[in-house]
Structure 1
């Protein structure tokens, strides 16, 4: 239950570290004070002249600095804005109770040459020089981090840690900062009186990461950044004075929102080096409009709304402040300190809480910068979505880092040899494995796997009977599969599929063995005579082997998971959506051909429960030590959906009365039974929501089964939801919704080539938002959808390459971008009655069938009576979003607007909503040529594009 706060209002509104535990260190400690007043100087910089090592004084002026012995010959520099810098030799044996006195700087009147220039011009110079003044290459930072949260004056969260940071200047989907926690402490707080409430209000989504996101110079181009040129017009920038930090003159700029500006969100003060125009420090505070914006957009979207209702509490921000100070090292400026303070008022009627003050203080102090052999971390990276309180281990010690110390972690070389979270997964050497995709190309084996050749189209599978014995000790499979098929065209040779590492013992036809040959994972079966068209035939393949295990380094790489439950019992599951079902059983492994029904018999050791698809018909003893679980699937099923799960399961059953009476079967680990009963309370409302929008549950004869599993997967009528944990067993479980939605999208209707897998994943991902809408309303659902934008990478088109089983690549966009495309299309239609009727019609028209993207798009065009081919081509066939290009020109009291689409599809003409009057959105109908309109009584600041409901790019809003 973590509070998800998206509060990068300022910039986002989005090295080896010294591991010298055994090396001698020189310890310096003392206080920095004002030489004139003898008062402590807070946040003074104490750092080495020629190395990246340093620290800062705390609010009492105290500091502790530990310096590796090898740097003893360096010089100590002490500086603070408004004071003259001083230099001190490093005492060889260290020193305690150092008194470092800083003389106030004598500030001269501004030079006429500076004073004559506008503050805006100075700020623009500083922005232009960011690439020159700041290191645009990757760096390795050591940092101290502290988080302190209080409710009504009482501490409810206090943690501190040493961080190892991979910091990149780049800001895109491929490059992002990484954090590892090397050492930490936290204060124990008793939350037993109201754990749900205190757990929510005290655990903020990783504030160490969001502190890095305050790095204004890195995110200067972000659309809501104060430094973005398009936003400067909302502010008044004034140069007021010059101050000093050490030997540098700093120009002080004050930034305030212009009068009546609705988009002026912050008040700011910048300290800019006069010589280089480097931004040395800045202070930001939310203006009233900024507080309004954060309370509307920055609390965490749908997650906040849901948790607020579950917990029975809400909050509003009343103040936000951030101070960033940069440190100079080897000719460049680096992030030095980030200090943030949040003021919030909490309300909860059920707890009789009214405007209770909540405050948060978050401090990040960079204590070392390294540029040596900087590489991205490959292990031990902290979860961006977990709270620092959750991630930080150990109890709080009052003497631990009390004064922002730079302490070397008392650990073995944890940076060079990160401790893995668990035993390493056994997987093949992926560096030596060639993966077929657009970048690497495709092979004949890919064609054999992915293309419908005459050796496959000559027959149509009608029934499978799979009968296998699972040897969990040997991690092997042995058994047979009967293929019943109808002959579509006369043939004497056919192709089936089974991975080359699996051995075929024999293939029987009318009780006689057939000859066969193998190439890659294809098996070519030879008959003694041609089989006549229209006849129904069957063969039985006897086989055995050790199926491959999944390789997590390869996207969509499937196999058999051999693992253990929390009690140490064997736990086994197969998942093969990408690699294909032929990795563990012989079949016609192409999505276009589904059997009308299937029998699945799985034999396992006594004492274990086995769960497959459809209805369990019976269990049959096999000898004295084994049991066969006999399942029947009475509907068409695609091959990768056939499955087995083996474990020490507990089972219970329920009934759902919807459009049909449906049995609900639940298989979970016994130790999770109570959690499961709470988790599965959402199943009936979820099914009701899906039936409302998509039509009846597709497989009533087979029932609906949910299985706790090693890996989540949409196995038909036996949906696997992954492991149940304390963190995911609440009332909101989008993964459960997603996998269950596949019963309609992916199982009831299926794509006929993996290139069109978006039909499964985009609709299932979009379906998650409908569950949100059914429970929490349309506005919250839209927030949920907009959160998906962060997952879009724009690296590959949503549609893959046909006829080659193209799946081993970054497929994430078929989920998130596909879902956002569907949401956008709903808003293009601007008719929810039509939209939801269309979803039901698609289900009814294509039920128990396979289809292609072209078939689906053409059906949509027919049902809506408009040609939307251009729309789907742009979103599915190209990586870039359609971009709405604008040119705005104020003309007295009116606004002249020019607009057009920039898109890959030549005739792209999607309607989109913009403000045609203040706060009033209306449709315009751009095309790829320029069009224009004049909006009366509008300014450029009043003009907005509805990119909340339309997933597009926008340029020219200036």
Structure 2
């Protein structure tokens, strides 16, 4: 119960009663003729991640169950969120994050109603005696309702998108990567904690379909044609990846045999108006899946599905239900759908392999972006690969280090205007170039083995958290050499390494310098006449006799410089 005056008597509640109460509370809420003004988004809600507070570090989320009623006509929702968690450390309180524009009607811990406080985007929850012991399982329920924020610029600035299909039907989606899921449901909004599983039960009006994460467990018919869709995610999942997609969808489905023999259910939820275009794209979806399995290893979520859903925003890497809003327009430079391939790549580089802190955001976006270059190389050849890398080079803004040392929230990483050294889009394009240059450094054989080992160490397939430093250690082990010198310069410095070349007495002298004065040992390919020579640069320096011949540095443009 929210702190709004004298505390009522504490009473023990049956958790199942919350499900029954949602509609009653929600009807009362909807009947109010005057509603409180909508507050501005709290800083806590606008940002995701950053340093973890003690009242959230003390518990580990095991499971969420979100029971939700969506009313498109009024753009309101009413919901019950039940979190099951394990106490990692003893504490007399915990907190969950939730946008302050929602009204919290009741909070219980272990079925006991407690006096919680909801302000500035955070629900502070006192734990009843005996509930906060270390190693204890904890069950918290929050009953809430309200008008979620409409996304100002989905998917980059998130919230609910309340759109209409070409036929005038409701078309609804959620996006919240930058802000976190506390834009629309209570959670521990930090990338370092995923629930082991998730259940979503959403009730929507007649004629609409809900496509979401995981497997569809069933659809229950209700009054006035309303239906409740139950989706179950059986694998760990990031809070921002939970996604609502509601429209009068039609589907195309096929079961595809994966690279390791697992059968993968593949489904595309599309608008009825786009049925013919969807059939064409579906074949490309299957081709992308086969390519990414060949590069990254088996698809990690075959026990749930691979899903794609047409959205009223550009797209998002929601686990097992990729948002697709590229309007079937492909790519202006190449004959493929770049948006779908990029978002699918995140099933490995984000959903399977997840950065433990947003300071490591480049792992998701840099590796995800590089996958498109590899696809183009496999389909169209090396010239397409080099063209894609040249396009991405021109997109680098050099705003800041793409893997800063200290913890970061999303707002200080993604949006370059947030802080002076926010890398912004560089996590995509410079991140991709870091991987590209690494390929040159260690060679194709070790490089492609490394991609598999990064994604699925020891051929394992369970989602896990990683840091930049962990990936550096794995790369060094695969290459048989310490690669810290490389990653320290290209990931952790804003400025590019500089290569100086000079010919004296018929000898080409090469010297690398870095802004941080670190030794940079990058070998350089030199085209001398019609011969290519790899010049090693131990200590940052190398030499090559060229006599009077013409020479060209880095003819295939592998190097960050």
TM-score normalised per structure 2: 0.85
Equivalent position to 1:503, from 73, 84, 103: 103
Q: Which has the higher strand share?
A: 1
Aligned equivalents of 1:866 and 1:503: distance in 2? 56
| 1:518-529 matches, cutoff 5 A | 518-529=118-129
Partner of 1:817: 430
- Paired position in structure 1 for 2:391: 787
Q: State the 1:731 CA deviation.
A: 5.6
C-alpha displacement at 1:747, in angstroms?
A: 0.2
Q: Which residue of 1 aligns with 2:301?
A: 699
The structure 2 residue matched to 1:828, chosen from 429, 441, 462, is 441
CA contact (8 A) 1:823 1:949 kept: no
- Contact 1:464-1:599 within 8 A present in 2 as well: yes
Give the SS at the match of 1:856.
helix
Alignment of structure 1 residues 214-363 onto 2, 5 Å? none
8 Å Cα contact 2:528-2:552 kept in structure 1: no
**If each structure's helix is expressed as a fraction of its own residues, which one has the higher value?**
2
- CA contact under 8 A between 2:329 and 2:337: conserved in structure 1? no
Structure 1 counterpart of 2:343, from 739, 753, 766 = 739
* Residue 538 in structure 1 maps to residue 150 in structure 2: no
Query: How big is the shift at 1:804?
Result: 3.9
| SS at structure 2 position matched to 1:474 | coil
Matching residue within 921, 928, 935 for 2:546: 935
1:44-443 residue pairs with structure 2 within 5 A?
Answer: none
Counterpart of 2:264 (choices 650, 659, 662) is 662
Structure 1 equivalent of residue 318 of structure 2? 715
CA separation of 1:731/1:925 partners in 2, compared to 1, >3 Å: closer, same or farther? closer
| Residue 919 of structure 1, CA deviation | 2.7
* Residue 648 (structure 1) aligns with: 248
- C-alpha distance in 2 between matches for 1:549 and 1:447: 16
Asked whether 1:480 is paired with 2:86, we answer no
The correspondence of residues 532-611 of structure 1 with structure 2, limited to 5 A, is 532-552=133-153, 556-611=156-211
1:839 paired residue among 441, 451, 459: 451
Work out whether residues 681 and 731 of structure 1, in 8 Å CA contact, stay in contact via their aligned partners in 2.
no
1:749 aligns with: 353
Bigger RCO of structures 1 and 2 (CA < 8 A, at least 6 apart) = 2
SS of the equivalent of 1:544 reads strand
Residue pair 2:355, 2:361 contacting (<8 A) in 1 also = yes
User: Secondary structure at 1:450's aligned position in 2?
Assistant: coil
Question: Is 2:292 the partner of 1:690?
Answer: yes
State the shift of 1:555 in Å.
9.1
Per-residue deviation, 1:667: 0.5
Change (3 A) 1:749 1:876: same
Q: Is the contact between residue 519 and residue 540 of structure 2 (CA under 8 Å) also seen in structure 1?
A: no
Q: Measure the CA separation in 1 of the matches of 2:121 and 2:133.
A: 27
Distance in 2 between residues matched to 1:583 and 1:863, nearest whole Å: 41
Match of 1:950 in 2: 558
On the 8 A contact 1:751/1:850 being kept in 2, the answer is yes
Distance 2:436 2:528 in 1: 25
1:454-492 per-residue CA deviation (whole Å, 9 max, x = no partner) reads 211211101110111111111111111110011111111
Q: Which has the larger radius of gyration?
A: 1
Shift of 1:797: 2.0
Deviation at 1:450, TM superposition (A): 2.4
Q: Which of residues 476, 501, 512 in structure 2 aligns to 1:861?
A: 476
Which residue of 394, 398, 401 corresponds with 1:797?
Answer: 401
Contact 2:521–2:540 (CA under 8 A) maintained in structure 1 = no
Q: 1:456 to 1:947 in 2, by over 3 A?
A: farther
Measured in 2, the distance between the counterparts of 1:854 and 1:613 equals 30
The partner residue of 2:502 within 887, 891, 898 is 887
Report the Cα distance in structure 2 between the residues aligned to 1:789 and 1:931, rounded to whole angstroms.
25
* Structure 1 CA distance for aligned equivalents of residues 437 and 99 of structure 2: 41
1:900 equivalenced with 2:511 (yes/no): yes
Please report how far the alpha carbon of residue 933 of structure 1 lies from its aligned counterpart in structure 2 after TM superposition. Answer: 4.0
Q: Does 1:618 align with 2:221?
A: no
State the Cα distance separating 1:916 from its structure 2 match: 5.7
Of 904-913 and 495-504, deviating more is: 904-913
Alignment partner of 1:913 out of 524, 534, 539? 524
Alignment partners' CA distance in 1, 2:248 and 2:331: 21
Distance apart, 1:814 and its partner CA: 0.6
Instruction: Label 1:567 to 1:723 Cα distance change in 2 as closer, same or farther (>3 A).
Output: farther
Once the two structures are TM-superposed, the CA of residue 538 in structure 1 deviates from its matched residue by: 0.8
Corresponding residue number in structure 2 for 1:629: 229
Change (3 A) 1:546 1:609: same
Structure 1 unaligned regions, length at least 5: 1-432, 436-442, 954-958
Query: Do 1:913 and 1:921's aligned partners in 2 also have CA atoms closer than 8 Å?
Result: no
Q: Contact between 2:210 and 2:246, CA under 8 Å: does it hold in 1?
A: yes
- 8 Å contact 2:252–2:279 — kept in the other structure? no
Distance 1:569 1:807, change over 3 A: farther
- Matched position secondary structure for 1:888: strand
Give the secondary-structure state (helix, strand or coil) at the position aligned to 1:798. coil
CA 1:929–1:750 in 2, change beyond 3 Å: closer, same or farther? closer
Q: In the alignment, which residue of structure 1 is the partner of 2:4?
A: none
| CA apart distance, 1:518 | 3.4
How much has 1:855 moved relative to structure 2? 1.9
Provide the rounded CA distance (Å) in 2 between the counterparts of 1:878 and 1:937: 37
Show CA shifts across 1:660-686 (max 9, x none).
Answer: 111111101111111111112112222
Identify if the C-alpha distance between structure 1 residues 642 and 860 changes in structure 2 by more than 3 Å, giving closer, same or farther. same
Residues in 1 aligned to 2:157 and 2:45: alpha-carbon distance in whole angstroms: 16
| CA spacing shift, 1:802–1:528, aligned 2, 3 Å | same
The structure-2 alpha-carbon separation of the partners of 1:885 and 1:927, relative to structure 1 and needing over 3 Å to count, comes to farther
- Across the aligned residues of Structure 1 and Structure 2, the Cα RMSD in angstroms comes to 2.4
Q: How far, CA to CA, are the matches of 2:296 and 2:516 in structure 1?
A: 31
Quickly say closer, same or farther: Cα 1:450–1:519, change in 2 above 3 A.
Answer: farther
Report Cα offsets for 1:92-136 as digits up to 9, x if no partner.
xxxxxxxxxxxxxxxxxxxxxxxxxxxxxxxxxxxxxxxxxxxxx
- Cα displacement (A) at 1:506: 1.0
Structure 1 residue 674 corresponds to structure 2 residue 287: no
SS of alignment partner, residue 643 of structure 1 = coil
CA positional deviation for 1:903: 1.1
Q: How many residues align?
A: 505
- CA distance in 1 between partners of 2:242 and 2:280 (Å): 28
| SS across alignment from 1:571 | strand
Q: Distance in 2 between matches of 1:447 and 1:655?
A: 39
- Judged with a 3 Å threshold, the aligned counterparts in structure 2 of structure 1 residues 434 and 904 are, in CA distance, closer, same or farther, namely farther
Q: Secondary structure at the match of 2:344?
A: helix
- What does residue 262 of structure 1 align with? none
Q: In 2, distance between residues paired with 1:773 and 1:906?
A: 35
Tell whether the 8 Å contact from 2:110 to 2:138 is kept in structure 1 after alignment: no
Cα distance between partner residues in 2 of 1:781 and 1:628: 46
User: How far off its partner does 1:559 sit?
Assistant: 1.0
* Cα distance in 1, alignment partners of residues 541 and 445 from structure 2: 33
Distance in 1 between residues matched to 2:560 and 2:214, nearest whole Å: 42
How big is each residue's C-alpha offset from its partner over 1:141-186, in whole Å with a ceiling of 9 and x where there is no partner?
A: xxxxxxxxxxxxxxxxxxxxxxxxxxxxxxxxxxxxxxxxxxxxxx
Cα distance in structure 1, aligned partners of 2:250 and 2:41: 41
